[in-house]
Amino acid sequence: MTVYVRSLETAVPTTKLIQSEARDVFAAQPGLSRLGSRLVNTCFDGAAIETRFTAVEELTTTGRSENPQFYDQETGLLLNPSTKVRNDIFAREATKLFVEASRAALEAAPEIDLLDITHLVTVSCTGFFNPGPDYKVVRELGLSPAVQRYHLGFMGCYAAFPALRAAKLFCEADPNAVVLVVCAELCSLHVRTSNNPDTIMGSALFADGAAAAVVTARPGAEDTALLKLDHFETVLTPVGEDSMAWNIGDNGFEMVLGNYVPHIIDDHIVDALQPLLAREPELAALPYTAIPHWAIHPGGRSILDKVQSRLGLSHTQLVPARETLRNFGNMSSATVLFVLKHILEQPLQEGDERICSMAFGPGLTVETGLFTKLRQLTGGSANPARMDAAGEEALLQDNRATEATLA
């Protein structure tokens, strides 16, 4: 049975962070050592990010709050709220993103009635509350109270793949199933000032955003579908358990993103792809560049550099991932869906438009997916202006010039 993505939409908070301004705030914190200050400038400048979005309005240089919890405009100090304070904000603000992205995805599939939704899969690793986001989406959108609800929590950046895989299995088991998948992450809730390189890197990379998709195999779905879900695979690399992790601390969640992660990916990415490509031996026999589109989770600039170098991909094939990183930063589980949306927005080409997609997370876990693009996505949400040709070439030249520094 063929399973399709009928719609794919994204959402971000209204508050935009300018990377250079955020860098200056973090670099000016009084507790930084000389090395810490140098790392802040290196990480922020080398992240290949220009803008990000945050649910915490006061984190910007123009945001004002009478009772600041994250950033005091008057003193210029970054504050350190408790995990409870951060999580309370998550419960309020993440709900808005879950609902906004879900509503956009459903509106983009007008032939599907709200009561047609049979399953709901929600995803997040940046906060907890119960009744959770699955409950909130059902209530806010007016879905059937009998919708089967599933929440995938605390899996990290690769979690969109288990969510889509679950949706595919639901549809294969029930031909009438219509599954709403929605990822929402508020990573910026957990930023803090520190001399720790992992914490500094997280502050330079992470952002907030959401993405939602409607998945179904109902008769006639192929007539309007954007994407065909072909295969999924999961691989655990033999090393890396201590190099990428996501822990709960007293003052927010604590990221571990060791500088060896890009090297682990470099060493094991080819083996991680083999189970997926083995599903289609004819495709596996071709060079990687024969697959037109690569939807790579932009966990960081050096990760993209390693993937591109190891697989021999062209700069053009990495543009969707690099431009997503440039405009939105790393939004954990939602990010790879932004990359897929970027690919879907491009004009259709001749022949089968296959998409190989992958994301990386704690473990070290490599999730992969193979898809087929069927239609161009037009309109939609959270879609800033694309780079012109000159801007794109400048970005690619910059990527090549600084790859060694970030490796």
Nearest one of 249, 236, 243, 160 to 201, comparing CA atoms:
243
Residue labelled with tokens 């200050």: 37
pLDDT of residue 407 exceeding 50, the answer is no
For residue 363 the two structure tokens come to: 């473990």
> Residue 258 has what DSSP assignment?
-
Nearest one of 317, 328, 399 to 358, comparing CA atoms:
317
Instruction: Tell me, yes or no, if 157 is annotated catalytic.
Output: yes
pLDDT of residue 402 exceeding 70, the answer is no
- Strand-pair partners of 256: 245
Are 288 and 313 in contact, with CB atoms under 8 Å apart? yes
Are 184 and 91 in contact, with CB atoms under 8 Å apart? no
Any residues with CB less than 8 A from the CB of 358 and at least 6 apart, and which?
A: 269, 272, 273, 295, 296, 297, 307, 336, 366, 367, 368, 369
Are 72 and 79 in contact, with CB atoms under 8 Å apart? yes
For residue 61 the two structure tokens come to: 């240089």
Q: Supply the mean pLDDT for the chain.
A: 92
Predicted confidence band of residue 405 (pLDDT cuts 50, 70, 90): very low
Are 297 and 358 in contact, with CB atoms under 8 Å apart? yes
| Weakest-pLDDT range from 230-234, 242-246, 284-288, 297-301 | 242-246
Residues in the chain: 407
pLDDT of residue 389 exceeding 50, the answer is no
Q: Label residues 107-131 b or e (16+ Cβ within 10 Å = b).
A: ebbeebeeebbbbbbbbbbbbbbee
User: What are the backbone dihedrals phi and psi of residue 215, each rounded to the nearest 5 degrees, phi first?
Assistant: -120, 135
Q: Tell me, what's the pLDDT at 404? A: 39
CB atoms within 10 A of CB 372: 16
Quote the percentage of the chain above a pLDDT of 90.
84
What is Dmax (Cα atoms) for the chain? 63
Q: Tell me, what's the pLDDT at 256? A: 81
- With vertex at residue 141, the alpha carbon angle to CA 135 and CA 147, rounded to the nearest 5 degrees, is 50
pLDDT in tens, 61-93: 676 678 899 999 889 999 999 999 999 999 999
Across 363-369, average pLDDT: 95
Q: How many angstroms separate the CA atoms of 143 and 130, rounded?
A: 18
Nearest one of 98, 134, 106, 130 to 13, comparing CA atoms:
98
Predicted confidence band of residue 382 (pLDDT cuts 50, 70, 90): low
pLDDT in tens, 125-175: 999 999 999 999 999 999 999 999 999 999 999 999 999 999 999 999 999
Question: What is the distance between the terminal CA atoms of the chain, rounded to a whole angstrom?
Answer: 43
Q: Tell me, what's the pLDDT at 236? A: 95
Which residue among the candidates 43, 157, 171, 183 is catalytic per the annotation? 157
Q: Tell me, what's the pLDDT at 381? A: 62
Quote the percentage of the chain above a pLDDT of 70.
92
Q: Tell me, what's the pLDDT at 406? A: 33
Across 27-31, average pLDDT: 95
Alpha carbon distances (Å) from 195 to 34, 40, 402: 9, 9, 23
3-state secondary structure of 101: helix
Predicted confidence band of residue 401 (pLDDT cuts 50, 70, 90): very low
Q: How many angstroms separate the CA atoms of 58 and 50, rounded?
A: 19
**Rama region for 11: left / alpha / beta (φ>0; ψ in -120 to 50; rest):** beta
Please compute, for residue 89, the number of CA atoms within 13 A of its CA located in the half-sphere on the CB side: 21
Predicted confidence band of residue 397 (pLDDT cuts 50, 70, 90): low
pLDDT of residue 386 exceeding 80, the answer is no
Are 357 and 368 in contact, with CB atoms under 8 Å apart? yes
User: What are the backbone dihedrals phi and psi of residue 99, each rounded to the nearest 5 degrees, phi first?
Assistant: -70, -45
Predicted confidence band of residue 387 (pLDDT cuts 50, 70, 90): very low
The burial of 211, by beta-carbon neighbours within 10 Å (0-12 exposed, 13-18 middle, 19 or more buried), is given as buried
pLDDT in tens, 293-349: 999 999 999 999 999 999 999 999 999 999 999 999 999 999 999 999 999 999 998
**Of 382 and 89, which is predicted with more confidence?**
89
